[in-house]
């Protein structure tokens, strides 16, 4: 664990966890689905000529990770100088709109989950169990509309007092990460102010959301973004796994 801002909160009552890459090991599945989507699209666009494939994890971390699905499509395409019309969430999977591409990616992601199941980070789950045993509130915060189904499949739905995901973001008109709206909403749902809440994030856009929301503690989980980048974007501490904090005084109530 690395202290980075000098902030030392004495009381945290609510613990807010991103899903992919923090609670579940689904970020790698997302990455595979994005690569399949964009490599196929770019190859078709090049008409059989040379094209630059999506690079994992670099392109995923820089342009897609932590963002709502259609924003990830738009931002990656923009990095390649490509602009498509947004279209409608009802667009069938295809190449004509941002939504059509995003829907194709979602179909592939769910196909892999159906075949392989949902891998979880056991140390993080152990931390959540300890937090709840000590009377803390927990919430899952994700830009993904797949959040609730993934949690149910993993048997983790009941581990959280509140869930705020991509469906809520769209319905309530919230802004996606790096804006703090979804984390602020989750804190409200468990009766905490941002100053009383901790954010766990592996995405640069997510730790930035924690910083912008002025949360009491922002923990960067380094799944490839890099400790330095996580700190630069707002992490107070950087850990290899959220579960590394299981014996922290803030968790056990001895701070």
**pLDDT, one tens digit for every residue, the chain (255 residues):** 444 445 667 789 999 999 999 999 987 888 899 999 999 999 999 998 999 999 998 999 899 988 889 999 999 999 999 999 999 999 999 999 999 999 999 999 889 888 888 999 999 999 999 999 999 999 999 999 899 999 999 999 999 999 999 999 999 999 999 999 999 999 999 999 999 999 999 999 999 999 999 999 999 999 989 999 999 999 999 999 999 999 999 998 876
Which residues are catalytically annotated?
Answer: 18, 20
| Domain count across the chain | 2
Q: 150 and 231: one domain? A: yes
Q: 22 and 51: one domain? A: no
| 104 CB-near residues (< 8 Å, 6+ apart) | 37, 93, 94
Q: 66 and 178: one domain? A: no
Please give the Cα distance from 94 to 54 (Å, whole number). 18
Could you list the residue range(s) of the whole structural domain that residue 144 is in?
2-26+119-252
Q: 129 and 207: one domain? A: yes
Q: 42 and 89: one domain? A: yes
Give yes or no for a contact between 254 and 21, defined as CB atoms under 8 angstroms apart. Answer: no
Q: 156 and 213: one domain? A: yes
CATH number at residue 236: 3.40.50.1000
CATH number at residue 93: 1.10.150
Q: 123 and 211: one domain? A: yes
User: End of a domain among 47, 81, 116?
Assistant: 116
Q: Global pTM?
A: 0.83
């Amino acid at each position: 664990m690395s202290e980075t801002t000098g902030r030392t909160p004495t009381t945290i009552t609510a613990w807010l966890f991103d899903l992919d890459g923090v609670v579940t090991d689904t970020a790698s599945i997302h990455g595979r689905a994005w690569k399949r989507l964009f490599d196929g699209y770019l190859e078709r666009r090049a008409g059989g000529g040379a094209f630059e494939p999506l690079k994992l994890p670099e392109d995923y971390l820089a342009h897609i990770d932590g963002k709502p699905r259609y924003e990830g499509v738009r931002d990656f395409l923009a990095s390649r100088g490509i602009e498509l019309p947004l279209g409608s969430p009802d667009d069938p999977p295809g190449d004509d709109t941002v939504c059509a591409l995003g829907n194709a990616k979602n179909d592939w992601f769910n196909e892999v989950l159906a075949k392989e199941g949902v891998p979880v980070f056991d140390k993080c789950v152990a931390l959540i169990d300890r937090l709840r045993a000590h009377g803390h509130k927990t919430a899952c915060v994700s830009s993904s509309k797949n959040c609730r189904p993934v949690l149910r499949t993993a048997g983790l739905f009941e581990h959280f007092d509140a869930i705020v995901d991509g469906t809520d973001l769209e319905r309530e008109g919230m802004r996606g990460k790096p804006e703090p709206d979804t984390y602020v909403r989750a804190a409200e749902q468990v009766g905490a102010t941002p100053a009383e809440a901790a954010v766990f994030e592996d995405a640069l856009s997510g730790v930035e959301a924690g910083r912008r929301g002025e949360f009491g503690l922002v923990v960067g989980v380094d799944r490839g973004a890099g400790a330095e980048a996580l700190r630069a974007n707002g992490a107070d501490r950087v850990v290899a796994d959220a579960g590394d904090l299981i014996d922290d005084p803030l968790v056990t109530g001895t701070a």
